[in-house]
Copies of this chain bind each other. A is one copy, B any other.
Amino acid sequence: MTKQRQKILQVIKSTKSHPTADWIYQQVRETMPNISLGTVYRNLGILKEKGEIIELNYGSSYSRYDGNPHPHYHFKCTKCERVFDLDIPVSHQLQNEVMNREGHLVTEHRLEFYGICKDCRN
């Protein structure tokens, strides 16, 4: 576990903003000016493999990263583009429904809501 990887993990874990790779890169660069974007991507991949973070890539050309690897749902504001965590319960029941109805083996599901967030409504 290199200094770079530690710092990247720390940056992701200490925000709820579901940042992009580039945002993470900029953050890390403030204390490690020589880090490269390639290293950031490589480590994001490794941390994802390890299950320490989650990659989100709903409805846009770039990925966002979530330092909370626990299953949970998201809401994305189509105006300010921010992604919010939701604390509605994760339904394991839905997966069973799909398994029973369709015969596929379901191991995971993702649920994302879209609309205008609390702040942008006003």
Contacting pair A102 B84 (CB below 8 A): yes
> Considering the complex, which residues of chain A in the window 37-87 have a beta carbon less than 8 Å from any beta carbon of chain B?
55, 57-60, 75, 77-78, 84, 86-87
How many of chain A's residues touch chain B, expressed as a range? 35 or more
Measured CA separation A112–B78 after assembly (Å)? 19
Indicate whether A106 sits within 8 Å of B102 (C-beta atoms), given known contacts A59-B57, A88-B97.
no
**A3: CB under 8 A from chain B?**
no
Indicate whether A104 sits within 8 Å of B113 (C-beta atoms), given known contacts A58-B58, A98-B88.
yes
Binding site for B on A (CB under 8 A): 55, 57-60, 75, 77-78, 84, 86-88, 94-95, 97-98, 101-118, 121
